[in-house]
């Protein structure tokens, strides 16, 4: 998979410029969307990515974007040859904390994707919890006074109704939208980020360093977010076989729908090892052997893909 383009915070600068010039002769009356009270985006902290699977525009094609949930927040500047430096309202999309144990920590209206960031949430009873990591498998988090980081893996695969997966005709791309957090805890994205298309996976990484003054002394704080995207095939069927010392004791066939958010199976009496065979939509098989009855237990890791091809890790517990 290769990097296709970088989305700027302004989005379509030419369109904004045209709108700005037209607005010079227009009335400023009319309703406006509610905006956050703070108007200092430069003081906000980069906290990671919101990964979104999007339709890839063809040459000369412009895919419409629903901006009904975006609000104005501060301004951004663009330099032009004829008009000098022009200021435009900066628009952001605010995330809504969902507290859904089976979904994403934050929803961005009109932009469904996977949370791969580290947001601080103040608890009512006091203290702080971290959220925004629900899209990551094997998340590694580091917190501290001078340096913080988050890293992990996102699994993805063929959309349920797409026949062009892993071909030159595949017409979707991943966009790593950069996510920020205000001092009051508001989480948002501003449309900036890199887009990646083609076959295979990729890794995206950003380190943001800020210098702040506290009690007359400068303090340097850095935050690093690194996300690895790994493609997988869509598993359609599983077979579990339990064995004793020599003989087959029992077998069971499962679909991914039956596995759901995770499933625990009771092993037959006398079973000492298990064989798990998984088949994907192409007919390929993968086999794994597990020793049963150990202190660590035996769990088979699977990637459950939704209709769009976005994956989450679930487990089939064998004993």
Do 225 and 247 share a domain, yes or no?
no
Do 194 and 112 share a domain, yes or no?
yes
Considering only CA atoms, which of 189, 192, 194, 212 is closest in space to residue 73?
189
pLDDT tens-digit map of 150-160 = 999 999 888 88
Do 183 and 257 share a domain, yes or no?
no
Identify the domain boundary among 231, 249, 272: 231
Question: What pLDDT is attached to residue 116?
Answer: 94
Do 270 and 285 share a domain, yes or no?
yes
Report yes or no: 152 and 228 within 8 Å, Cβ to Cβ. Answer: yes
pLDDT band at 234 (very low <50, low <70, confident <90, very high): very high
Identify the domain boundary among 193, 212, 231: 231
Domain count along the chain = 2
Q: Can you give the pTM of this predicted structure?
A: 0.78
Do 220 and 294 share a domain, yes or no?
no
DSSP classification of residue 266: P
- Mean pLDDT computed over 51-66: 81
Considering only CA atoms, which of 304, 302, 272, 303 is closest in space to residue 290?
272
Range of the domain at 138: 2-231
Do 72 and 193 share a domain, yes or no?
yes
Do 159 and 301 share a domain, yes or no?
no
Whether residue 167 has pLDDT greater than 80: no
Do 223 and 271 share a domain, yes or no?
no
Do 158 and 27 share a domain, yes or no?
yes
Cα dist from 35 to 69, 111, 148, 177, whole Å = 11, 19, 29, 21
Do 123 and 220 share a domain, yes or no?
yes
Instruction: Tokens 């063809």: give the residue.
Output: 58
pLDDT band at 86 (very low <50, low <70, confident <90, very high): confident
The CA dihedral of 11, 15, 20, 25, to the nearest 10 degrees, is -160
pLDDT tens-digit map of 283-316 = 999 999 999 988 777 999 999 998 888 888 999 9
Do 271 and 128 share a domain, yes or no?
no
Identify the domain boundary among 172, 207, 231: 231
Phi, psi of 207 (to 5 degrees): -115, 125
Do 72 and 165 share a domain, yes or no?
yes
């Amino acid at each position: 998979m290769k990097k296709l383009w970088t989305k700027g915070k302004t989005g379509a600068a030419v369109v904004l410029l045209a709108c700005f010039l037209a607005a010079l002769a227009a009335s400023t009356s009319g309703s406006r969307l509610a905006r956050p009270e703070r108007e200092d985006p430069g003081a906000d902290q980069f906290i990671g990515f919101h990964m979104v699977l999007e339709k890839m525009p063809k040459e000369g094609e412009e895919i419409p974007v629903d901006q009904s949930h975006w609000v104005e927040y501060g301004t951004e500047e663009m330099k032009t040859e004829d008009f000098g430096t022009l200021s435009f309202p900066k628009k952001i999309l605010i995330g809504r904390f969902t507290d859904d144990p089976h979904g994403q920590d934050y929803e961005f209206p009109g932009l469904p994707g996977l949370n791969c960031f580290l947001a601080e949430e103040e608890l009512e009873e006091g203290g702080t919890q971290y959220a925004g990591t629900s899209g990551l498998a094997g998340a590694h988090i580091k917190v501290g006074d001078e340096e913080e980081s988050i890293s992990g893996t996102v699994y993805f695969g063929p959309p349920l109704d797409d026949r062009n997966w892993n071909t030159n005709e595949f017409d979707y791309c991943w966009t790593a939208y950069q996510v920020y957090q205000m001092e009051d805890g508001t989480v948002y994205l501003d449309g900036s980020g890199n887009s990646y298309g083609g076959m295979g996976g990729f890794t995206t990484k950003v380190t943001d360093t800020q210098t702040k003054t506290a009690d007359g002394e400068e303090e340097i704080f850095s935050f690093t977010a690194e996300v690895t995207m790994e493609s997988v095939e869509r598993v359609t069927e599983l077979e579990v076989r339990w064995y004793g010392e020599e003989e087959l004791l029992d077998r069971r066939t499962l679909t991914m729908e039956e596995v759901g958010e995770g499933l625990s199976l009771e092993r037959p009496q006398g079973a000492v090892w298990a064989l798990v065979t998984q088949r994907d939509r192409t007919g390929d098989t993968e086999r794994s052997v597990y020793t049963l009855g150990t202190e660590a237990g035996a769990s088979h890791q699977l990637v459950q893909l939704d209709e769009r091809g976005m994956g989450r890790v679930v487990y089939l517990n064998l004993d």
